[in-house]
Chains A and B, each alone.
Chain A
């Protein structure tokens, strides 16, 4: 557990910087795509993180992002949501008797699992976040288009990140 701290801290700062410096500056204005890779930090926390800690870490990380993006509380709320939903989601989508590493790993769980995992999480995240941000249900379908396109782009970027930084080592069976 403790050994996971440095790698997660590193991932936190890397994703935070990538989000703040790069992806939040990208505006594909025609479809209003705003990609978010930062939630990957919460999604890649170790499996055995207690649920209350997931929520606290999620909210804290979200607040850190909010501080940089000037959207006080919005990302915190959305990150808290995926922190809360994550254990349920993992339970639902993971087949019985699968291999587990300490943290979710693209080589252990497989790309299909990750696409579902990230897709559902990011859909929830973006739905929550974008509706809080716009604070209205006006233009619902345009909003939905934004959510779907942002989810697709975000998941794609996250997969790239996973393939770049995931290690093949340290297998263990749960």
Chain B
């Protein structure tokens, strides 16, 4: 401490000089517009380079947040699609206004995949959202380029999804070009293909035809991509075609999915049960 004091006393002139110069430069840069601008220019040049480096690094750290927001935005955009809405056009000839003409039927909740498998007999995917975020049992799940599966169990913050790659999963599918529909289920062989059944033999099925959801189930809206026809086999002893569909969803690298919320599910369910009872 004494040495420190001695040091300051010995060099007090220098310190005084530096302090006074500091004051002068404070005046210069606070009172003179040109110097201010010149200083800001240089400072911006330096800090700009610094920040661009920092942001280059931190972009990676923020990728998850960016992905989250993009997924949310995609969910909103997807909800704007015509297939997510009921078109009133046939009901009222005069409803021209799109606000009254279209009724929202499906909304979408983005969710992150936290566990995934493709090599079991029943492949279950876990999502990072659950009951509290609005996910319920029996909701459909789609990925950006195809269907994923169906929610079979939810807790408060997590959801279990039975993926298309499960022996019990079935979904109503149709040819996009001519609306013939059948049931799609996984053949259990590999994670890239499934079988489309109950397509009559007169249907002109060709390799490369697009298969989409029919919208008959409550799980998915119409026209969500499922895959393309990979192989058509018309066995003489069968009444239906054997169609192998190449699934468009890459189940091996799912990271973000959208949970489909059918806003009319309760109503349809009510209709379903009352009709069956009768």
Identify the A interface with B (CB < 8 A).
51-52, 55-56, 59, 62-63, 66, 71-74, 76-77, 80-81, 84, 132-133, 135-136
Contacts and interface: CB of A to CB of B under 8 A. Distances in A.
A59 B24 contact: yes
B27 A80 contact: no
A140 B28 CA distance: 21
Contacts of A51: 13
Contact of A55 (B17, B25, B32, B34): B17
B26 A73 contact: yes
A63 B26 CA distance: 13
Contact of B24 (A73, A135, A136): A73
Contact of A80 (B24, B29, B39): B24
Contacts of B23: 59, 73
B35 A135 contact: yes
A77 B24 contact: yes
A80 B17 contact: yes
Contacts of A135: 34-35, 38-39
Q: Report whether over half of chain A's contact residues are helix, strand or loop; otherwise say mixed.
A: helix
A56 B13 CA distance: 11
A80 B21 CA distance: 7
B31 A72 contact: yes
A76 B38 contact: no
Contacts of B31: 72-73
Contact of B20 (A59, A71, A72): A59
14 contacts: A56-B20, A59-B20, A59-B23, A59-B24, A72-B28, A74-B28, A76-B27, A77-B28, A80-B17, A80-B21, A81-B21, A84-B13, A132-B28, A133-B35
Contacts of B28: 72-74, 77, 132
Given A74-B28, A84-B17, 4 more contacts: A55-B13, A62-B24, A73-B31, A133-B35
Interface string B173-184: 000000000000
A57 B38 CA distance: 29
A52 B12 CA distance: 9
A10 B23 CA distance: 27
A77 B20 CA distance: 8
3 residue pairs, one from A and one from B, having the closest CB atoms: A73-B27, A72-B31, A135-B38
Interface in B10-58: 12-13, 16-17, 20-21, 23-32, 34-35, 38-39
B41 to A, nearest CB: 9
Given A71-B32, A74-B32, A80 B20 contact: yes
B32 A72 contact: yes
Contacts of A66: 27
Nearest to B22: A77
A73 B13 contact: no
Nearest to A62: B24
A135 B34 CA distance: 8
A135 B42 CA distance: 10
A55 B39 CA distance: 26
A34 to B, nearest CB: 16
A76 B24 contact: yes
B20 A73 contact: no
Nearest to B31: A72
Contact of A77 (B21, B30, B38): B21
Contact of A132 (B12, B17, B35): B35
A22 to B, nearest CB: 24
B278 to A, nearest CB: 89
Contacts of A80: 17, 20-21, 24
Max chain A C-beta neighbours (<10 A), residue from B24, B29, B31? B24
A168 B26 CA distance: 43
B143 to A, nearest CB: 56
A69 to B, nearest CB: 11
Contacts of A52: 12-13, 16
A53 B39 CA distance: 31
Contacts of B39: 135
A132 B27 CA distance: 12
A77 B24 CA distance: 5
